Structure 1
Amino acid sequence: MSAESRTTTNHEEIRKWAESRGGHPARVRGTGSKPEEDPGLLRIDFPGYSGKDSLEEISWDEFFDKFEENKLALLYQDKTAKGEDSRFNKLVSRDKH
């Protein structure tokens, strides 16, 4: 089975993909000038994985505001090579895709 990756800028597609895997929007702690104005580096956090101490949950509105401001896209994988739900994702510049 193929483990294809896709790229999207569709907010609803991103939200559904993340939430179907237990993920939520987050920022990297210690980044951004003022967390209430600039969340800094964005991530999608999946509780129980490596982000416990370095990530802080934010709202989808905050996430997508910064996502659009920085002209980002989500590179993600729907299924692993074994056919299981994949959590692989990376925020990339729209200019490169």
Structure 2
Amino acid sequence: MTRNHEVIQRWARARGAKPATIAGTERGDRPGVLTFNMPGYRESSRIREVTWDDWFRTFDSRRLNLIYQEQLRDGRQSNFFRTENPNREDG
């Protein structure tokens, strides 16, 4: 788990992932649900790429953590990630 921008960018770039949001979840002009666009993995018509600046501004303002996995048990690279807010009451 991390909040470190450099660690997050390094993890994403190693997978060819780009910062993104899910269309339809925006809050006014701010990105909605944060995700990554990973080639061949999470491509969808609902995924909209955003800049790293917008992604991190939203990530930081929501006080999120990125939970991520480097490798699967068999040693292959893992694409698993999720964002979470540790202060959510229902979390």
Q: Same fold (TM over 0.5)?
A: yes
Of Structure 1 and Structure 2, which has the larger fraction of its residues in strand? 1
Q: How many pairs align?
A: 88
Q: Matched residues in 2 for 1:63 and 1:88: separation?
A: 18
What runs of 5+ residues in structure 2 fail to find an aligned partner? none
User: How big is the shift at 1:48?
Assistant: 1.2
1:94, distance to aligned residue in structure 2 (A):
3.3
User: Deviation at 1:38?
Assistant: 0.6
Q: Runs (4+) of structure 1 moved beyond 2 Å?
A: none
* C-alpha deviation, 1:70, in angstroms: 0.5
Over aligned residues, Cα RMSD in angstroms? 1.3
Deviation at 1:32, TM superposition (A): 1.2
Specify the SS of the correspondent of 1:95: coil
Structure 2 Cα separation of the partners of residues 94 and 45 of structure 1: 24
Alignment correspondent of 1:72 = 64
Q: Kindly, what percent of the aligned residue pairs are identical?
A: 35
Q: Which residue of 1 aligns with 2:79?
A: 87
In the TM superposition, residue 45 of structure 1 has moved relative to its aligned partner by 1.8
Spell out the pairing of 1:7-86 with structure 2 (5 A cutoff).
7-34=1-28, 37-86=29-78
1:35-75 deviation digits (Å, cap 9, x = unpaired): xx311111022021233212000000000000011010000
CA distance in 2, matches of 1:94, 1:8: 12
Please list every run of 5 or more consecutive structure 1 residues that lacks an aligned counterpart in the other structure: 1-6
